[in-house]
Structure 1
Amino acid sequence: MIGIVVVSHSRALADAAVGLASEMVAEDKRPVIAVAAGLDATTFGTDAMAVSEALAAADSPDGVLVLLDLGSAVLSAEMALEFVDPSVADHVRLSSAPLVEGLVAAVVTASTGASLDAVVTEAERGLVGKQDHLGDTPTVEAEPVVEPDRSLEIVVSNEHGLHARPAARLVGLVNGFDAAVTLTNLDTGKGPVDAGSLSMVATLIAQQGHRVCVGASGRQASEALEAIETLAAAGFGDEPAPDVRSSTAGGSGLDVAIGPAVLVGSGVDVSGYVAGDNELGRLEQALETAGEQLRVLRDTTPEHGDIFVAHLALLGDRKVLDDVRASIAGGASAPAAWQQVYDDLAATFEGLDDAYQRERAQDVRAVRDRVLRVLVGASEDAPADGILVVPELDAATAATLDATRIAGIAVRAAGTTGHGVIVARSRGIPLITGIGDVDVRPGATIAFDARTGTFEVAPDEEHVRATIAERQVERDRAVAQADEHAITRDGRTIDVLVNVGVVQDAVDARGADGSGLVRTEVLFGDRRTAPTVDEQVEAFRAIAQALGNKPITIRTWDIGGDKPLPFLPQAKEANPFLGERGLRVFRRRPELLRDQLEAIRRVAAETPVHVMFPMVTTADEVAWALDELGPRDGLEVGIMVEVPAAALRVATLAKDLDFVSIGTNDLTQYTTAADRTNTAVASLADGLDPAVLQLIDHVVRNAGVRVAVCGDLASDPQAAVLLAALGVTELSAVGPQVPLVKARLRQSDLSQVDTAAVLRARDADQVRGLL
């Protein structure tokens, strides 16, 4: 195996490049890599004597490849050849290949035992993949490939496609067989390319979900195809760690709080930072420290580990880091360069059409501030003993708060899908969002009631504490009586079920009469490949068993550009909320729906199961879905009513159905033309808007079948009473709210609810007043 020498002006740069390349192959297959970089650990420069020592260390009878960065590195390497024994110098090759990309390609190719010439060729092709992707003219032409005499089709399941590590595993595998293997990206038409060349594989730009044709010829063609198929099925060795979830909340779980204000600013004060002569070194150290902090958070909060994995990815984004380093090289201090680049990245996210992606700007700013705190030596003590008031809530803060000491969190920004909000609510911490720019001084007594949407400075403390006591008693009593039926005072029985995204939701549910919504796209959302029928059967069966084999309603895949499935990538849409969502997607990929329907049928033979199709607009869509389902064999079938068109024509849509379930989140958004995650219009997206309620009333009166609600309104005890009064007979709520919804219904006389007045109300606020 050849040896490799890396010559660079920067020790940190060389070590980082070697570290990156070394991750591409197993330790026992790596070539010897020697480094001659910097005059010392922190001083830039090159030394011919150090290069000659590195050549001696990497010497191999098969040859030595030398990769260099720029300028004097070339001169030092040439001079070093004069210092070493001529027998060594004779098989040393200096290459103009790009340092980082060339090193990765060289290490992967050398690990297969390739010749020096072959390794040099691959190293010099290092830029081809990037050039091809960006539309530049490649500097190296692809060599002709052998026509295969057998082939198979695989699907790329990796989240980031065939990026460096999985591609390196594939190349290493291919080069171990006596066979010529080619790859063709069937979704983009790129290829065929030599599967034994890392740089050529990169030109495929094979992303998650892409279909790749693998062709092979030669003595071991069959064995090579079989091995590649196995590697692809295992995600090219790049599958995520198993999802571990915690059901421990920690907080009170109430929706009301009072306490002194604990203000946390929106940024880090860098005004006292004094730049030195090694800003790049300071940045690298800060990145290492911040990375260790995030790894600790990832490992100690497994239920939210995926969030911190995303933060680690942001921290190590090579394109962004290159921009930061370039800014430092231009004279900027490390904090200034870091802050500017990450501010620009956050602005990019905030300019996206997708509301969920816009909220990812919070994650960018969280990573920005973490590194800035390390650079300036600021502490990161978690606040406690009060109500935290923040411009926006990042996941790290939410995960590290002492939930037994923090009274609550008040977030100035609107939005309910930010990672920090999700983490805080999962831990049972009282929280309100969208309080705006209200003036709050540190230490001032503040209070909020998320149920009524009120936030107060200097509140009536006695009144608030009385409310808290009442809510606590209410919750304790509701939990104690959770298993009792929800029978109203006027004798109507309302089924209260639980929304399920993971099996643990069903395990934790108290008092649920079953599940009115199994979110299959969440249940299998961490998968990089589509789950098999057997895997889906196992998950559905586990949910049913956790709920005592009470009825469960399984919603078929509900995805779209705003909430993609990892194993079913979609083209970017200008407005994903109005694009291919829900059932619409599967009219072009029916095989995934058919597998899911088969799994549902199998479970339905064992326990009561209903199936529900999402994002239905037309009768033709319903007919198509029923045709795909085939014979019902006692299986109850329904649709989601999420768009005004479906609500208005529900009599036509429900003609051959057993039930409909209203998704109030989307119905509200589409009716009010307001994105509830957009601060500017979030207040308009109110499920109690009379226009939304009128549509719900229309559905109940005209559907001719059982009507359920599984959106957020069903989780609001006050709204649940109104829905029941309108004629809804089944409510599916989030787990912690099930006991409270049932308790409120038991206290209610639905005949006394003036639904006519509610439907005539001026706005949502007047509706609340009437309730």
Structure 2
Amino acid sequence: MIGIVVVSHSHALATAAVGLAAEMVAEDKRPAIAVAAGLDDKTFGTDAMAVSEAITAVDSPDGVLVLLDLGSAVLSAELALEFVDPDIAERVKLSSAPLVEGLVAAVVTASTGASLDAVIAEANRGLVAKQDHLGETSPVQQAELAAADQVIELALSNEHGLHARPAARLVALVNSFDAAVTLTDLDTGRGPVDAGSLSMVATLNAQQGHRLQVGASGPQAAEALAAINDLATQNFGDDAPAAETSQPASGSGLDVAIGPAVVVEAGVDLSGYTPGDDERGRLDAALSSASVELEHLRDTSTDHGGFFDAHLALLTDRTPLDAIHRAISAGSSAPDAWKQTYDELAARFEGLDDAYQRERAQDVRSVRDRVLRALTGSTSNDETPAGSILVVPELDAATAATLDAAQIGGIAVRAAGTTGHGVIVARSRGIPLITGIGDVAVPTGATVAFDARTGSFEVSPDEAAFRTTIADRLAQREQAVAEADQPAMTLDGRTVEVLVNVGSVQDAVDAHGADGSGLVRTEVLFGDRRTAPTVAEQVERFRAIAAALDGKPITIRTWDIGGDKPLPFLPQDREANPFLGERGIRVFRRRPQLLRDQLEAIRQIAVETPVHVMFPMVTTADEVAWALDELGPRPDGLEVGIMVEVPAAALRIETLAAGLDFVSIGTNDLTQYTTAADRTNSAVAPLADGLDPAVLQLIDHVVRNAGVRVAVCGDLASDPQSAVLLAALGVHELSAVGPQVPLVKALLRQTDLTQVPTAEVLSARDAAEVRQLVRR
């Protein structure tokens, strides 16, 4: 196998490029790579003697390829050949290939045992995919491709298509056979291209859902096609590992907090930045630093690593990077070019119709600021001092997932809204949190306090009063946890089942006192998968949840996708109004097989343990009939229900519930559809209030007319006071996030439901008046 030397003016740039290329192939198949870059770790320049030493270190009978960046790197490499043994020099070739793209192509090609000339040819074509994608040049003409003797067709299910890693795996596999293999994208008509060439495979730009035709000829054509088919069934090795555990909820679970403020502004201060002579080099170093940070966060996160994979993908997105490089070449500073480009990208995300895509604007801004901090030397918020209150403009899921829940005092979010991903993650981890504090001035380091129960946020508060409140609520929580296993029997003699919402096995393990699970979110449970789980895999995960809950009933919601909840292994067409499009059960009426597999898993586990199944986003009686028909014969004890999430379902509940065992109200969706307020849009999120009297009137209608057991599994059930109101309206079961289960049960045990002013609540003017009535 050949050796490779990277010659660059920047040690950080060369090291980062080698790190990127090394990720493309398995460690045991990588060629030897040496770096001769910088005069030292921090000083830019090249040294001919260092280059000669690097060449000697990786020398191979198969030859040595030297890749260079610019200017004196070429001169230093040429001079280095005069310093090495003449026999070695004869085996060395210098290449004008682009450093990063050429290195990636060279490492992948060399890993297959290809000759030095073949590796050089592939490295020299490293820019083809980028140039073709941007329309800057015609694709490189290939040599005449051999006619295929055998052909197979594959469906590309990778979430991001044949991007760098899966493409590299495919190329390595193809080059291990004595066969000529071609790829054609049947959906775009592009191809055929040489499947043994990384640049040609990337030129296809094959995306998720595209059909690929793979042709092969030669002595091992059949074996190559069989191996490629196997690789495709494994998503070209692009599956994320199945998450066996979730990060435990280790916060206090309180709704009140006090502490010194750590204020995160809407952006990073660039006023003190002084541009230099090598802005491109500074950006590369910042990108390398940010990449290391994100990889560390991903690898140390027990449940939310996927967030950081997404951030890494944003960090290396070639389209904005090319725009940034052009801006720097035109005279912009690295921070200005980076900020402007990523601000524009965030604005484009915010302008999309798809709610899930709009949420990605938070991720774009998070990546934007991480790199700006690296460029300016600003501090990161990955480690917030113990007891601090983090004040943020908005809360992205990555921040919520990585804060030390046991150390942070709380989070105050300026933006309104209670159903964003970051808010949901923070609450599930038991972190005290308040949203919608607005533009109140908060000096860094000032003592701040909030009480989410009353909606108050104060700067320089009465510390003694707040600390007394915290002590009281901690005592209440400790007592609630100690008594969590006791039933939630109210003072007027009603017993209300309090269950837990589950998105992972660990959620069930951490559920203190839950009477079972009122919601198993299967799209979250298997959301780390890039291929659909088998029936057996689903049974295994359901069995683990049931075991964690000591065999108590579990309510499994069938796949609930669409809107802001994509499912990687079931791509959906783009919709102008996804919240009003194919969501939940609607998706599977055209594509039922995935649902059928899940229902088979549910039937199997129902033989072993008490199981309820419910179908999401039901609107019509015809949908209920179809779902029951798909479920087919059911084991004894398997109860069936539907989610009530749209006003139409609530208003015709008597018809829909006929023949069912229960219904479960999803208050998050019912609220947004009733108030016509997108829960992910911060501009209208305050309208999406679950205590709006119109929402409560629909819940009351369902309770009085369903004729079956009524549950609530939306966020409203996780707030103890709201949960009491729901119980007073006649709801039989409440399913809350784990940290809130003991508190909900404790407050129910202290309440006489006959004294809750339900009539006044239902006729209240607005949600604010409802809260006053409930607190009273």
TM-score, normalising length: structure 2: 0.87
Structure 1's 188 and 711: CA in aligned 2 closer, same or farther, altered over 3 A?
A: farther
SS of residue paired to 1:280: helix
Give the whole-Å Cα distance in 2 for the aligned partners of 1:420 and 1:613: 26
- Structure 1's 339 and 102: CA in aligned 2 closer, same or farther, altered over 3 A? same
Match of 1:770 in 2: 773
Please show how residues 232-631 of structure 1 align to structure 2 within 5 Å.
Answer: 232-241=232-241, 243=243, 245=245, 247-380=247-380, 382-393=384-395, 406-416=408-418, 421-422=423-424, 424-441=426-443, 445-457=447-459, 459=461, 461=463, 463-631=465-633
Alpha-carbon deviation of 1:712?
A: 0.9
What displacement does 1:617 show?
1.8
More off after superposition, 174-183 vs 122-131 = 122-131
Deviation by residue 1:171-192 (Cα, 9 ceiling, x = unmatched): 1111212233344445555545
User: Which stretch of the first structure deviates more once superposed, 30-39 or 645-654?
Assistant: 30-39
Taking the aligned partners of 2:49 and 2:469, their CA distance within structure 1 comes to 77
Greater CA drift, 193-202 or 755-764: 193-202
Contact 1:643 1:670 (C-alpha < 8 Å) held by counterparts: yes
Check whether the contact 1:395–1:420 (CA below 8 A) recurs between aligned residues: yes
Question: Matched residues in 2 for 1:135 and 1:73: separation?
Answer: 30
Alignment of 1:20-35 (within 5 A): 20-26=20-26, 29-30=29-30
Indicate conservation of the 8 Å contact 1:561/1:573, yes or no: no
Report the CA distance between 1:512 and its aligned residue. 1.5
Aligned to 1:738: 741
Q: Secondary structure at the match of 2:593?
A: helix
Say whether the 8 Å CA contact 1:185–1:191 is kept in structure 2.
Answer: yes
* 1:420 Cα deviation after fit: 5.0
Query: Secondary structure at 1:484's aligned position in 2?
Result: coil
Q: How far apart in 1 are the matches of 2:489 and 2:77? A: 85
- For the 8 Å contact 1:382–1:400, the answer to whether it is kept is no
Code of the aligned partner of 1:504: Q
- CA shift at 1:505, angstroms? 1.0
Report the secondary structure of 1:302's partner residue. coil
- Structure 1 residue corresponding to 2:692, chosen from 685, 689, 704: 689
Match of residue 637 from structure 1: 640
Q: Contact conserved, 2:256 with 2:450, CA < 8 A, in 1?
A: yes
Task: Mark the runs of 5 or more structure 1 residues left unpaired by the alignment.
Answer: none
Q: Secondary structure of the equivalent of 2:473?
A: helix
* 2:105 aligned partner: 105
Q: Deviations over 1:729-756 (max 9, x none)?
A: 1221111222222222223333333433
Which range moved further: 646-655 or 599-608?
A: 646-655
User: Identity across aligned pairs (percent)?
Assistant: 78
Residue of 683, 689, 697 corresponding to 1:680: 683
Q: 1:87 to 1:698 in 2, by over 3 A?
A: same
Task: Write out aligned runs for 1:31-110 (5 A).
Answer: 100-110=100-110
Cα separation, 1, equivalents of 2:705 and 2:738:
30
CA distance in 2, matches of 1:567, 1:612: 21
Q: Counterpart in 2 of 1:646?
A: 649
For 1:455, what is the secondary structure of its paired residue? strand
Question: Residue 304 of structure 1 contacts residue 423 of structure 1 at CA under 8 Å; is this kept in 2?
Answer: no
Relative to structure 2, which stretch is displaced further, 207-216 or 559-568? 207-216
Residues 1:148 and 1:598: Cα distance change in structure 2 (over 3 Å): farther
Instruction: Report the Cα distance in structure 1 between the residues aligned to 2:260 and 2:74, rounded to whole angstroms.
Output: 64
Q: Deviations over 1:122-143 (max 9, x none)?
A: 4455444445545666332456
3-state DSSP of counterpart to 1:527: coil
One-letter identity of the residue aligned with 1:548: D
Aligned-pair Cα RMSD in Å: 3.9
Alignment partner of 1:722 is 2:732? no
Instruction: Determine the C-alpha separation between the residues in 2 that align with 1:49 and 1:741.
Output: 71
Instruction: Quote how far apart the aligned CAs of 1:479 are.
Output: 1.9
Amino acid at match of 1:347: A
Q: Matches of 1:384 and 1:83 in 2, distance apart?
A: 57
What are the superposed Cα offsets for residues 32-72 of structure 1, whole Å, 9 maximum, x if unpaired?
66888889988989999999999999888877777676789
Alignment CA distance shift 1:387-1:89 (3 Å)? closer
Q: Is the CA contact 2:355–2:563 (under 8 Å) kept in the aligned structure 1?
A: no
Aligned length: 771
**Displacement of 1:508 after TM fit?**
1.1
C-alpha distance in structure 1 between counterparts of 2:719 and 2:535, whole Å: 35
Secondary structure of residue in 1 paired with 2:496: strand
Give the Cα–Cα distance (whole angstroms) in 1 for the partners of residues 665 and 214 of structure 2.
Answer: 45
**SS of alignment partner, residue 710 of structure 2:** strand
Q: Which amino acid aligns with 1:330?
A: A
Which has the larger displacement, 631-640 or 441-450? 441-450
Which of 660, 665, 676 does residue 663 from structure 2 map onto? Answer: 660
- 1:498 maps to a residue whose letter is V
Shift of 1:276: 3.1
CA distance in 1 between counterparts of 2:444 and 2:4 reads 59
Distance 1:630 1:304, change over 3 A: closer
Contact 2:184-2:190 at 8 Å conserved across structures: yes
Residue 168 (structure 1) aligned with residue 168 (structure 2):
yes
CA distance in 2, matches of 1:261, 1:120: 56
CA separation in 2, counterparts of 1:294 and 1:677? Answer: 25
- Residue 556 of structure 1, CA deviation: 0.7
Between the aligned partners of 1:405 and 1:77, the Cα distance in structure 2 is 53
Q: Encode CA deviations 1:494-525: one digit per residue, 9 max, x unaligned.
A: 22211110011111112222111110000000
- In the alignment, structure 1 residue 750 sits paired with structure 2 residue 753: yes
**Per-residue deviation at 1:685?**
0.4
Per-residue CA shift, 1:224-252, capped at 9, x if unaligned? 23322333344433333553645544432
Q: Report deviation, 1:532.
A: 0.7
Gaps in structure 2 of 5+ consecutive residues: none
Contact 2:428 2:738 survives alignment (8 Å): no
| Higher mean C-alpha displacement, 393-402 vs 352-361 | 393-402
Alpha-carbon separation, structure 1, partners of 2:60 and 2:392? 60
Preserved CA contact (<8 Å) 2:5 2:66: yes
The worse-fitting range, judged by mean Cα deviation, of 148-157 and 681-690 is 148-157
Partner residue of 1:194?
194
Question: Per-residue displacement from partner, 1:644-702 (whole Å, max 9, x unpaired)?
Answer: 12222223322332222111100100110112332321111011111111222222233
Instruction: Give the TM-score normalised by structure 1.
Output: 0.88
Q: Distance in 2 between matches of 1:332 and 1:672?
A: 46
* Structure 2 contact 179–221 (Cα < 8 Å) conserved: yes
Q: Which residue type is aligned with residue 389 of structure 2?
A: I
